[in-house]
Structure 1
């Protein structure tokens, strides 16, 4: 891709729009493949330093994909493109063109998302409590309360009485049937028909469920659900290893940040005094050299000019003298203008 992006010799501009679109589309497909691999590497590498380097490359790859997408839109005047011939040449499938959401988008903002969901839950709970809260200003009189209690109690007693009467009627009807007809006996053919009906319904439901599961698995909408499926076990193991690596990433990141703080503090304690003394010696030497050249001490550089950083620029004595003379000339001109006024 680097050879295509930055050739040794500049290539002539492509005049044919179809050929130019084909080149840009091919680069887009290849960058998508690179992005998918980089995203997977960034998600599974546990070394903090390597992850930082990969993050820069990954962000650059995503930016380049967006640039190529805008170029294709401007060439084709459409946001939807067809890569059938390119996929056939590169021996890829349409699934390889899917741009997944980077995992770190969700993982790095997990705490923010969790806090936001918790806040929304608290707001909704408070709103529901406010809505369900009864109006304290409205007061019910004693007569109204007694009337409501009486109506509910009468309704309960009525339902209970109706249930008891229904049971009594059913029992009486069954007793009359036994007295007139005797114990009911079912015909063997009728019993066999009922059993066959329920069994056939069970078989049809079982076959329908099996056919639906097979169709879902064929379409890729469901994973095989066999009790001893090696693929399912393998996928579960891979997912478990990925989660374990993410946990190790967090531990290594914490250790890396702590090591940075400890190293910075150690350098400040051990080498800080020596560095401070060395810088002071350089500043003194700069003042002495300027005094030897101009016979007076120079002014300390202003903050706008860079402050003490300007002192440590690599300049020889002649360059310093020229700068001082230029300053003196500018000051002399300023005084002359004031006298003229």
Structure 2
């Protein structure tokens, strides 16, 4: 299929996803459903529809070439996968079972049971191939590093020492090896003399020899052709009986097209990464100074406006709050000051509450001590 087909598949999935979000998040919240069967039917319907969207997005992401489109599809695809898992969890909690019967939902949507299968996304294998190869290489290196080169000692026992050999035993071993070598050399010499003394009679080339050669060649060729025909007939019979699957040229062509598409994906991704780096470097070299100067001017202007509005310079935003990003946000200085004031007030209330708790605790402890002192005084009188 062409890229236009996958773009249309992505557009259809986005449209269906928009409809589902409008149904799940209406303007007015619906009444809670008390009927368990109706509630499960609603969950099953959402589960099947989200599964279909997941299959469409996964197919589009696998074969779309454009790098920016693939990134956007990937974010939507991950969100849909998370929603499918949430719905499955809710169905298991409501039915107390991991197996559900949704024949009526399939009948209403005009689907088959195979449409309910959730395939493993193909990018799980394709995008993790490099990681798998790196792990294999790392494991191989580790095994080479820890490879044992010495003979391991038996636990709890002394290392086994080589058996000492006497001079007579060593002489016997050398003699046996030498006699075996002499026997091999003698056998080679005898075979050489036998071949030299053997006389072969070769027929002179003539009509009989040419005819016998032609017969031999014909016999070999006819045997080869007949074996090939027999193999073809056997395969046709197996295909007719349903034992073998017939080769489909269309499928082979589609596989070749998918392989070329994935090669294009890699090329476009590399070009996109390179272009991103080049653009960043160009912006940093050409417009970096101007951007830093304009940002400094904006920060100074923000501090000046805050001083004119409140009479004092505000504190610089903390890194946890966003730092200078708050200054460049689309907010007025008064709004930022109100947020800082609310935060400071909340911290002051927290501290005051902690102090009050400490005071109350101290009063209660002191009251207990006074009561104990009073009891002891009464006891002494």
Task: Give the TM interval when normalised to the shorter protein.
Answer: 0.5 to 0.7
For the residue of structure 2 that corresponds to 1:43, the secondary structure is helix
How many angstroms apart in 2 are the aligned matches of 1:77 and 1:63?
21
User: What corresponds to 2:162 in structure 1?
Assistant: 138
How many angstroms apart in 2 are the aligned matches of 1:318 and 1:129?
70
Q: CA RMSD in A?
A: 4.3
User: What corresponds to 2:100 in structure 1?
Assistant: 81
How many angstroms apart in 1 are the aligned matches of 2:262 and 2:107?
36
How many angstroms apart in 1 are the aligned matches of 2:28 and 2:308?
54
Deviations 1:243-264 (A, max 9, x none): 1111111111111111111111
Indicate how the Cα distance of structure 1 residues 278 and 213 shifts in structure 2: closer, same or farther if over 3 A, else same.
Answer: same
1:315 to 312, 332, 339: 332
Single out whichever of 306-315 and 72-81 deviates more from structure 2: 306-315
C-alpha deviation, 1:242, in angstroms: 0.9
For the residue of structure 1 that corresponds to 2:69, the secondary structure is helix
Deviations 1:230-283 (A, max 9, x none): x2x111111111111111111111111111111112222222222222222233
C-alpha deviation, 1:214, in angstroms: 3.2
User: What corresponds to 2:72 in structure 1?
Assistant: 53
1:104 to 123, 131, 138: 123
C-alpha deviation, 1:90, in angstroms: 2.5
2:292 to 276, 279, 293: 276
How many angstroms apart in 1 are the aligned matches of 2:297 and 2:120?
55
> Which residues of 2 match residues 108-123 of structure 1 at below 5 A?
108-121=127-140
Q: Work out the number of aligned pairs and report it.
A: 266
How many angstroms apart in 2 are the aligned matches of 1:3 and 1:319?
34
Indicate how the Cα distance of structure 1 residues 86 and 139 shifts in structure 2: closer, same or farther if over 3 A, else same.
Answer: farther
C-alpha deviation, 1:43, in angstroms: 0.3
The structure showing larger relative contact order (alpha-carbon pairs under 8 Å, at least 6 residues apart) is: 1
User: What corresponds to 1:165 in structure 2?
Assistant: none
Instruction: Verify the 8 A CA contact 1:290 1:321 in the aligned structure 2.
Output: no
Indicate how the Cα distance of structure 1 residues 148 and 322 shifts in structure 2: closer, same or farther if over 3 A, else same.
Answer: closer
Are 1:298 and 2:313 matched, yes or no? yes
How many angstroms apart in 2 are the aligned matches of 1:96 and 1:242?
22
User: What corresponds to 1:42 in structure 2?
Assistant: 61
Structure 2, unpaired ranges of 5+: 1-19, 154-158, 184-229, 345-381
User: What corresponds to 1:236 in structure 2?
Assistant: 252
User: What corresponds to 1:92 in structure 2?
Assistant: 111
2:241 to 203, 214, 235: 214
How many angstroms apart in 2 are the aligned matches of 1:9 and 1:292?
45
Indicate how the Cα distance of structure 1 residues 51 and 147 shifts in structure 2: closer, same or farther if over 3 A, else same.
Answer: farther
2:276 to 234, 245, 260: 260
C-alpha deviation, 1:212, in angstroms: 9.4
Are 1:246 and 2:237 matched, yes or no? no
Instruction: Verify the 8 A CA contact 1:38 1:58 in the aligned structure 2.
Output: yes
For the residue of structure 2 that corresponds to 1:26, the secondary structure is helix
How many angstroms apart in 2 are the aligned matches of 1:321 and 1:113?
52
Instruction: Verify the 8 A CA contact 2:303 2:313 in the aligned structure 1.
Output: yes
For the residue of structure 1 that corresponds to 2:292, the secondary structure is helix
Indicate how the Cα distance of structure 1 residues 253 and 212 shifts in structure 2: closer, same or farther if over 3 A, else same.
Answer: closer
How many angstroms apart in 2 are the aligned matches of 1:99 and 1:78?
18
